[in-house]
Copies of this chain bind each other. A is one copy, B any other.
């Protein structure tokens, strides 16, 4: 019940690109590293799965950098987290098929699947635009509600 720091860094990176790369649409890792106080070499590693999943596009060579491959409103936190954490399932049920002869296993499979669905439902309901405070034309209308604004004491 824990998200690794790789996922957190990936989220911070994507938010930074979304927020500061909006003018030219492009930002270098070096700049992000300085502003977020993260090692450049580590960021290079964080950025790779994000590239592989097609969430970012890169401009190589001097003056290059990274750009969002899609508009920030079309990238969800779930996209980023799943890319960063790898494709491994949230929880495996000891094979998930062979050992289900026991009394209690089938209900636990349903339980874990439901948990995974609950998590996905939340993280896919928050877009990068929400997180970066980018004012977007509100086409759908359910963009920000998952953040639960005003409900908690954190605002």
Contact = CB atoms under 8 A, between A and B. Distances in A.
Interface string A1-15: 111000110011001
A66 to B, nearest CB: 16
A34 interface: no
A79 interface: no
Given A90-B2, A148-B114, A16 B104 contact: yes
Interface of A: 1-3, 7-8, 11-12, 15-16, 19, 35-36, 77, 81-82, 85, 88, 90-91, 93-94, 102-115, 117-119, 121-123, 126, 130-133, 146-149, 152, 154-155
**Within the oligomer, what is the number of copies of this chain?**
2
A122 B131 contact: no
23 contacts: A1-B81, A1-B90, A2-B85, A2-B88, A8-B94, A12-B104, A19-B103, A77-B111, A103-B133, A104-B132, A106-B154, A107-B130, A107-B132, A110-B152, A111-B126, A113-B152, A113-B154, A114-B122, A114-B146, A114-B152, A115-B123, A117-B148, A118-B122
